[in-house]
Structure 1
């Protein structure tokens, strides 16, 4: 019979995703078949499975910690914000349409059968399922229709660990206040609290822990230290956006678009000693850049207008004129062309002039392209000669098709795509002197491409590029998950956690 446990938080970004991943890794190390589950995720970071279905990247990261392939059953509902009051709604990996928040609030309870079917699929296959909540269970205006926190805990009969973030301050009020706003039935489901992101001496904290246990009538299962791990982040609250590294030889600037998506594309670059990578929002921050990357976005046309209005577009074009490398991925690739046309109102309708750095046009289509891809760089020109033959692996997820003025694409790569047994071949991307565009997400996770790009940057500055050492991204991630599990074991009462699993709700 399967067991389950659920991680809920006092607010967003308290560390639910990492704690879920850490417990998944611990259970895997202890010999159990384990899977993650989040009924509803709101994020612009998404992933395409082998079946061509779309899911949140947080559950992909957690599946990696479990040592299993990602499946949409781990994240049956994904909401991708399109505006401040609306989202694209994806159910079981397929887009069902765009909804305003009020509309989705009325609709979401009809998705309970999809949620439970996905959850039961996992419980049939795995010994333990580790569930993750969203935001806070104490959002009293949302509790009646809840399908992701206490509502889900009740449906799945999962005991809950409630996590608070001490780094932001007020952790005792977070935990006590959250419990105070729960019903008696919900309080009974919460078996313990956890304090996360602690810096300092735990001895000083002990009197507070005793008082918290008295106030909440719940044990504190652990105090997790603030730990720096190179593991994919979930959302726009990522600390990567403000983190700075010193001492690198080349400067890479990623444009932090308002609707930036799949920023995990660039995590591998941060692991290279020679690279300083930063996320920028103003022209002044581009002054020292050796390479500019325009990332994916959920709203290509509006984010291009944002760059146009704040001067970033002009600054990027000046750097391109000076021979600096400019790269666009997915929506960023579409921006580099001459025109973007939206005949079906996928984004904003009408047409918009692109940046004019690549002689190609993009037309938004009704259907989203969703596929994993493998291939290699075939036609490097200009600055990119060192990329020749580099293997590529990743995935595509976009609404448009791009074509050059002469018909087809002046491509830089040859890719295989589609489902197993039905693989097809196509050309991807556009390459011209110092400008490069591609639809492939996760391209820097391909070690040969990563190494070739870093060498290209060093060579462009006249620096020695022969000794560059890149990382094996998969092996590096495995090491990070093991470090996370070690941290969890050392600071969480694992014996108590197993008792919670056995007892259930």
Structure 2
């Protein structure tokens, strides 16, 4: 590319990257996935490209190589770009803790908890500077920055202090593609209505529309597309058909809720009687639910969520997942009657697994003397491990490598938690995590997690533990053996990371086939 002098950063001879921004008529229209697709397309076409989302609200986190926390979507987009994720790609992350209160994470580290009004009135001016500085650094390092908006640019009550949509597009000098989800209905009204609410200069920044999640014969849609272009004077740059079994993680629980409301999670095409029934507790403050994505790809697994005792069924294993508020979610399990079900299941010989908050719940006590997570200073746990967890003010965020006695291969993952767990009695700790500041010393490991003597119940702080193919398969084959089934043949097992890379390429080709990339390059001033 050949940027002009006006595109150079002020006070620098480094050309500023070209930009492209996806904004949506509402949340969950597919902005994250389309940004991921364009990141991979630009990379395939030879550009150095990076993703950017100024402010993300999500409980689904990603840990950068330097141990910082950003939104999972931007981590995934960086993977699609083939680059290491940094906090400049998502400088502000909001993690809801309870109604109207969120933990504000700035450049990967917790700042403080804000309620919605205080955040808007007290912090957004400072956030503007943080966002602009992060964007400036990215634009000095890459040739293209692919930007994702948040929610809708037509939220009139938020526009004066907007840092995620049209004001950000102005700071980035970014052409905007407006994305609408036809699957939810009202697509033409949502597009025209959004444009009507925008200011004239904002409307001018919209260079075209992308209609996403289309199912059916596009020729039947054509009269509507013609009407839309005549009405707005702007082109429809693509109609993207719904892509089934995408194979990539969702950004947050809103997309998970939508998936569940339309018939549940993906399962194998095998007969249900031949599948392992694995159930996940659907906590109100569920976090990092992408921990379980690799199970969706396994040919012998049926995965589902439990929200009440009526959903229990006859699972082969139950997983207690991560949570942004362990105490309140454990209280929910007790009030709903699920604690009684969990204990009865375990006493009858059932298999349990706990990850992060779920691991903490499996212990005897949760202590929060400084009210870090909740207003409850002490709470009884499920009691399967002789542990107690104290919630501290400092969050641990780190990528890890290690080993485990539960499989024969190394494991990788990441930690994100406020609690510190201590043992009241000796217990088998099956995971050993390498200490980064002493990589060569034989004693440079610390133990993690716990497992019962019979191996039925285990827990760990390691998010992503099920992304480790050998560990996941060993656990699943153990569940199979408990049912009297033979281990699955190696030809039927899944290599998750290879599948994920293939999914990036499949997504990119799908979008490339249905999006006018030549026109998009022209809009960006590239050839």
1:75 maps to 2:101? no
Matches of 2:388 and 2:197 in 1, distance apart? 53
> How many residues end up aligned between the 2 structures?
495
SS of 1:50's partner is coil
Greater CA drift, 393-402 or 280-289: 280-289
For residue 412 of structure 1, the aligned residue among 423, 427, 430 is 430
**Counterpart for residue 487 of structure 2:** 465
- CA distance, structure 2, for counterparts of residue 255 and residue 486 of structure 1: 35
Residue 456 (1) aligns with residue 481 (2):
no
Question: Would you say the 8 A contact 2:64–2:75 is kept in 1?
Answer: no
Deviations 1:88-117 (A, max 9, x none): 000111111000000111111211221122
Paired residue for 1:245? 267
Matches within 5 A, 1:40-439: 40-106=55-121, 107-228=123-244, 229-237=246-254, 238=256, 239-241=258-260, 242-245=264-267, 247-248=271-272, 249-348=275-374, 349-378=376-405, 387-406=406-425, 410-418=428-436, 424-432=444-452, 433=454, 434-439=456-461
Instruction: Assess if the C-alpha contact under 8 Å between 1:371 and 1:418 holds in 2.
Output: no
**Aligned partner of residue 134 in structure 2, secondary structure:** helix
Cα RMSD of the aligned pairs, angstroms, is 1.6
Per the alignment, residue 381 of structure 1 pairs with none
Contact 2:59 2:288 in 1 (8 A): yes
CA offset at residue 50 of structure 1?
1.6
Which residue of the other structure, out of 488, 500, 510, is the alignment partner of 1:487?
A: 510
**How far did residue 243 of structure 1 move?**
2.3
- Write out per-residue CA displacement over residues 183-225 of structure 1, whole angstroms, 9 at most, x where no aligned residue: 0000011000110000000000000001011122211000000
CA deviations on 1:201-260 (whole Å, 9 max, x unpaired) are 000000000101112221100000000201010011224543253635210001110000
Among 449, 468, 483, the residue aligned to 1:446:
468
Distance 2:519 2:439 in 1: 47
Q: Which moved more, 1:397-406 or 1:189-198?
A: 397-406
SS for the counterpart of 2:299 is: coil
1:88 aligns to what SS in structure 2?
strand
Q: Deviations over 1:17-63 (max 9, x none)?
A: 00000011111110111110000000000021121111000001111
**SS of the counterpart of 1:400?**
strand
Displacement after TM superposition at 1:287 (Å): 1.7
How many angstroms apart in 2 are the aligned matches of 1:375 and 1:435? 20
Whole-angstrom CA distance in 1 between matches of 2:392 and 2:83: 33
Partner Cα distance (2:206, 2:402) in 1: 48
The answer on whether the counterparts of 2:266 and 2:296 sit within 8 Å (CA) in structure 1 is: no
Q: 2 CA distance for matches of 1:211 and 1:425?
A: 64
Alignment check: 8 A CA contact 2:407 2:470 kept = no
Q: Distance in 1 between matches of 2:446 and 2:42?
A: 41
How far 1:284 sits from its partner (Å)? Answer: 2.3
Aligned-residue offset at 1:420: 8.8
TM-score, scaled relative to structure 1: 0.95
SS at match of 2:189: helix
In 1, the alpha carbon distance for the partners of 2:525 and 2:56 equals 27
Judging changes above 3 Å, is the alpha-carbon distance between structure 1 residues 359 and 45 closer, same or farther for their aligned structure 2 residues?
same
Unaligned runs of 5+ in 1: 379-386
Residue equivalent to 2:7: none
Partners in 2 of 1:496 and 1:80 — Cα distance? Answer: 37
Q: CA deviation at 1:388?
A: 3.5
Contact 1:358–1:430 (Cα < 8 Å) also in 2: yes
Aligned-partner Cα distance in 2 for 1:493–1:300: 46
Q: Distance in 1 between matches of 2:198 and 2:437?
A: 46
Task: Find the partner of 1:477 among 490, 500, 516.
Answer: 500
CA contact (8 A) 1:358 1:435 kept: no
Check conservation: 1:390, 1:452, Cα contact below 8 A.
Answer: no
With normalisation by structure 2, the TM-score equals: 0.91
Distance (whole Å) between structure 2 residues aligned to residue 62 and residue 280 of structure 1: 30
- The more displaced of 281-290 and 135-144 is 281-290
Specify the SS of the correspondent of 1:367. strand
Superposed displacement of residue 279, structure 1: 1.4
Offset of 1:473 from its aligned partner? 1.7
Match of 2:18 in 1: 3
